[in-house]
Structure 1
């Protein structure tokens, strides 16, 4: 979906390939000007969701964002499926933390549908002939896309058989097929830079320990490994889960 309008001149563009912004969905009953910041948005009973910036066209004053639509569930997907030219959506400035490092000997990128936009931008940014292995978990072949890249990239599509919110526990979380795919991947020689995002149980409790502990990748090269969402939780309750996880990890370190 492409967003544009009078407010673009104040939009600050991040230089990272995993750039994200907060999308602010106001109640249909709202009248008057939009919020000036997140705090004011919440005072207006707005719903806030975090989304990856797919691309920015400064010449046309446009921002492109990819949405995953899974029926009428959620807030952002249904809004995107019904949106028409002229509808209003408020967006914050973009932020990020990751971009492919030319100093890496090879790159490992993995995730589910929620990570496809960031993986797409990262692959576009790869230097010519840069080596990369990519693993993407989706429902099935109908969800596969082509990636634009100058790099030497191997892409493995991992099929779970249904939408992420439709499969049972035997194909989710600790048992997500993405875990087995990444763990069984050939490990190339040299320094790897890792980017893994997706469902939090899959990433934080399985793939992050595998990369950092079993493979021994230093934090500098494996800093961008985290959950984008949590099965069974809204973004609001997912934030609580992340705070609890961070507190638990801090206690273990102490």
Structure 2
């Protein structure tokens, strides 16, 4: 099957979710080209780059409704092309969107669940929480920039939420792991879902594989970015990492 061609979507509205997260709602005549049931799937935002190849940046579909989708952007001082566009754009502006790509959901059914992310993974983690069965038990560990970045999350009552503050994202690669080590490891099979910075991801992966001896089929663990490099360079690093068969 051929990939769908990029389509032009229009900004319908913008809303500040927290000090460091901005929600952009996209719609327009071509929104119908995005199939149903794509929440937590990714899209590619395409930006002109002069005579060079266009820049593409990957973002999660946080919500999907019949005529619009929400995309959440983490805001920080060193804004890349996507977050800069999100901050500076206006209602009525357009953007080329590629995809959507595949969804990455937590392994179900499991006896219990453990989800972890920083703010880049929070949109996809939120969708996973919402789609867990009401009877689900476990934990979600979420790294945010400051306390005001906490969001209301829909989740089963048996999932306990832990918020970690880190005002220097990417500079404390053990933060998520250290919190997870403090949790009571529950009985039975666990479904793992984690998305965060590259070094943090590797620490989590090593812990789950070497200390908890989990099977790769129980886990989705991915890096969404790497400190100090852009998405194009991060993609190269991810490919090298995958070749080592550590996933």
Q: TM-score range by the shorter chain?
A: 0.7 to 0.9
Counterparts in 2 of 1:158 and 1:193: CA distance versus 1, 3 Å: same
Q: Which residue of structure 2 aligns with residue 154 of structure 1?
A: 160
Offset, 1:152: 1.6
Offset, 1:164: 1.2
Q: Which residue of structure 1 aligns with residue 239 of structure 2?
A: 243
Offset, 1:71: 3.1
> Unaligned regions of 5+ residues in structure 1, if any?
30-42, 166-170
Cα distance between partner residues in 1 of 2:179 and 2:230: 27
Structure with higher helix content: 1
Q: Which residue of structure 1 aligns with residue 44 of structure 2?
A: 22
Count how many residue pairs are aligned between Structure 1 and Structure 2: 224
Q: Which residue of structure 2 aligns with residue 129 of structure 1?
A: 135
Structure 2 contact 194–221 (Cα < 8 Å) conserved? yes
The superposition leaves residues 126-150 of structure 1 with CA deviations (integer Å, 9 ceiling, x where unpaired) of: 1112112010111221111111123
Structure 2 contact 208–214 (Cα < 8 Å) conserved? yes
Offset, 1:102: 4.2
Structure 1 contact 136–157 (Cα < 8 Å) conserved? yes
Q: Which residue of structure 2 aligns with residue 53 of structure 1?
A: 61
Q: Which residue of structure 1 aligns with residue 27 of structure 2?
A: 4
Q: Which residue of structure 1 aligns with residue 15 of structure 2?
A: none
Cα distance between partner residues in 2 of 1:46 and 1:163: 29
- Of 44, 59, 66, the residue aligned with 2:72 is 66
1:111 aligns with 2:117: yes
Structure 2 contact 47–56 (Cα < 8 Å) conserved? yes
1:216 aligns with 2:213: yes
Q: Which residue of structure 2 aligns with residue 164 of structure 1?
A: 169
Cα distance between partner residues in 2 of 1:23 and 1:14: 19
Structure with higher strand content: 2
Structure 2 contact 108–191 (Cα < 8 Å) conserved? no
Structure 2 contact 106–128 (Cα < 8 Å) conserved? yes
User: After TM superposition, where is structure 1 displaced by more than 6 Å over at least 4 residues in a row?
Assistant: none
Cα distance between partner residues in 1 of 2:233 and 2:103: 23
Cα distance between partner residues in 2 of 1:52 and 1:228: 11
The superposition leaves residues 189-246 of structure 1 with CA deviations (integer Å, 9 ceiling, x where unpaired) of: 1110000110011112x10011122101111111x10101000010011111112222
Q: Which residue of structure 1 aligns with residue 204 of structure 2?
A: 207
The normalised TM-score by structure 1 is: 0.81
Cα RMSD after superposing both structures: 2.1
The normalised TM-score by structure 2 is: 0.83
Offset, 1:101: 4.3
> Unaligned regions of 5+ residues in structure 2, if any?
1-23
Q: Which residue of structure 2 aligns with residue 33 of structure 1?
A: none
Cα distance between partner residues in 2 of 1:71 and 1:6: 34
The superposition leaves residues 49-88 of structure 1 with CA deviations (integer Å, 9 ceiling, x where unpaired) of: 0011101102xx1011000111352111111011111111
For the pair shown, which has the larger CA radius of gyration, 1 or 2? Answer: 1
Cα distance between partner residues in 1 of 2:104 and 2:135: 20
